[in-house]
Amino acid sequence: MNSVYFDNAATTQIREDVIDSITDVMRNNFGNPSSSHSFGRSSKSLIEHSRKAIASCLNVSASEIIFTSGGTEADNLVLKSAVKDLGVLHIITSKIEHHAVLHTLKALQKEDGLYLSYVNLDAKGEVDYSHLETLLQTEKKTLVSLMHVNNEIGNILNIKHVADLCKANNALFHSDAVQSVGHYKIDLQDVQVDFLAAAAHKFHGPKGVGFAFIRKNSGLKPLIVGGEQERGLRAGTESIHNIVGLETAMKTAYNNLDKEQLYIEELKQYFIDKVKSDIPNVMFNGHSADMNKSTYTLVNICLPIPPKKAAMLLFQLDLKGIACSKGSACQSGSNQNSHVLSEILSDEDLQKPSIRFSFSIYNTKEEVDYLIDVLKAFTQ
C-alpha cells in the first residue's frame, strides 16, 4: 500500500537540518538559560541568536519576538491581554477564523463583556473590506483579529490593506499568521500589524514552539506568570532545542522560498487540473482553486458523492494510505461540519464531503496521480 501525506496544513514533516540542530542542542546545551553560570549563558546566547534571526526574517526588532508554545498560545496572549490590560472593548473578527481565536473571543465576551463584531464575508469566504471599514467607525477602543491565510480554504487576506484601515481608524490589528509565516515573505515594517502569531510545525519545524510578534511599547501583559523570561511576557524555562529548531526551520524556509514555492505551486495546479478532468462536477471551496487569491499550499474540494457514501470517504482514503483532512486538525474526532464551510456552503453542498488536501516540498506528482485514481474510483 502507498503511504501519501497530504495534510501539511495540519503539520509538516520536520526537515533533516532542523532535526540536526535540535539534537545538537539537546546533547550540548542543557543549561537553564536563566542561570548565571557558563552553561546557562551558553543556552541564553542560543535563544537570543534565534530571536535575532527570526526577527530578521520579518524585518522587526529582536525584542518584538516572544517565544510561545505555538500559535494558540500566541493568539490567547494577545487577545486576552488586549481586553484585560489595554482596555480594548470591541473586537472585529470573522466567523471563519481558527478556533484559537474564535473560542478565545467567545470566552472574553462571556467573562469581560467584550463587544464582538463579525465582518461580512462573500460566497467565497472573502472579507468585505467596506463592511470592515464601517465596523471600525466606533468610539470604542477596537482591535481587529483576522487571519492572514485561512487554514481550511486557503483564502489570503489583504493584510496590508487591513493594517492601513486599522491605522486610519486608531484600531489595533492582530493576525493569526500560522499558515503564512514560513510560506510568504512578510515585511512587518511595510505591513503595520500590531500583533502576529506563528507556529514552527507549519513550516517543517518542531511542534510545541512558536512566537508572538508584539510591536514595541504595546503595553501587553503576560498570560503565563511566574518568572521574567521572554521580556517578562511569558514565564517558564525556555525550550531551547525547540527555539533553535524554529530558527533553523524559518531560515531554511526563507532561504529556499522562491524555489520551493514554485515547486508546490506547480503541484497544486497539477492537482487542480487532474481533479477537474477526472472527477466531473467537483467543486472548489472558497478561493482554493484560484492561484492568486489562495495560498499555494492547499486545496479544499467538495465531491459529488451522496451522503451515505460520503460518510466513508475519509476512512477509505486512510485505508489506501492517504492522509488528508475534512477541516482543521483541531477539529479531528468531531462529527460537526467545519465551521468555515458552514459559513459559505449551501445546506445541500454541506451534505457532500469536503476534503482539504495540503502540499509540501515532500509531495510528488506521482502521489497526486495515486490520490486522483483513488478519488475517481470512489466517486464512480
Class of residue 91 by CB neighbours under 10 A (exposed 0-12, middle 13-18, buried 19+): buried
Give the CA dihedral 360, 365, 367, 369, nearest 10 degrees.
140
For residue 145, give every residue at least 6 positions away whose Cβ sits within 8 Å of its Cβ, in sequence order, or none.
79, 91, 92, 93, 97, 101, 105, 173, 174, 175, 176
Look at residues 146, 151, 145, 155 and name the one whose alpha carbon lies nearest to residue 123.
155
Query: Are 83 and 172 within 8 A, CB to CB?
Result: no
Rounded distance between C-alpha atoms, residue 254 and residue 183, angstroms: 8
Query: Are 78 and 146 within 8 A, CB to CB?
Result: no
**The three three-digit cell numbers of residue 295, written as one number:** 495560498
CA 232, 237, 240, 246 dihedral sign is negative
Active site residues: 330
